[in-house]
Amino acid sequence: MSKTDIIEYLSYLADLGRSGVTRARKLASIREFFSYLCDHDVISDSPAAKVAIPKKERKTQTYLRPDEYARLLSAAGSNPRDFAILQLFLQTGVRVSELVHLTLTDVDLVNKVISVDGKGSKQRSIPLEKKAVMALKNYLAVRPHSSDPHFFLNYEGVGLSRRGAEKIIEKYRRLSGITKRFSAHSLRHTFGSYKAEQGVSPFQLKEWMGHSSISVTQLYVHMSRESARRAMEQTSL
């Protein structure tokens, strides 16, 4: 067996729809076999030694369609706090940890901006759109009086926990009748995907989302291009 034979075998598995993880596992077994033959002087060199390991595919990111996030917001419409939380996720793309750590002084409704402490203690400012500003104002009007500085409080008057925020998302997923599973991170992906589709530059999106590398932000650009390609195909004359 030659190196070419092994590469063709891996290509055959790919044609059958086998994942990169499965093909990498098959290659590992082949390498182990030839390594055994080399150790026992049956062959001098392993033909699998220089075969590139198949790349593991990225997991498909879940995000909401416009009709889905409209249903999600509608389901939370009667609860100012929960509605504001969902709006903030969708309008700013913040991480769930960033949202629950927001304090009253981090939210500037006069200048329409929030200050977020992101990964690596890097602080960034994110502008607020009208819908988010209105939702936050409505929540502040009914926010319980508390010495706790966190912007979002639970029903005991202390800062909302990460788990609490995740439960809110799951609650309204069920109430809205959306069957697919999604998380706070999915709402972040929804923000990034929508902004990319609207033509926001990767560099601006990187600043808003707090990515450490532009390569991460570029994923949203690729996603938006793929979405545009599907739309073109579906409306082909």
Residues annotated as catalytic are 95, 119, 185, 188, 211, 220
85, 107 Cβ separation under 8 angstroms: no
CA 65 to chain CA centroid, Å, is 14
Residue position matching structure tokens 């220089």: 50
94, 116 Cβ separation under 8 angstroms: yes
Q: Cα(49)–Cα(55) distance, rounded to whole angstroms? A: 16
The length of the chain is 237
Which residues, 6+ apart, have CB-to-CB distance to 127 below 8 Å? Answer: 112, 113
Q: Cα(62)–Cα(181) distance, rounded to whole angstroms? A: 8
Q: Cα(76)–Cα(82) distance, rounded to whole angstroms? A: 6
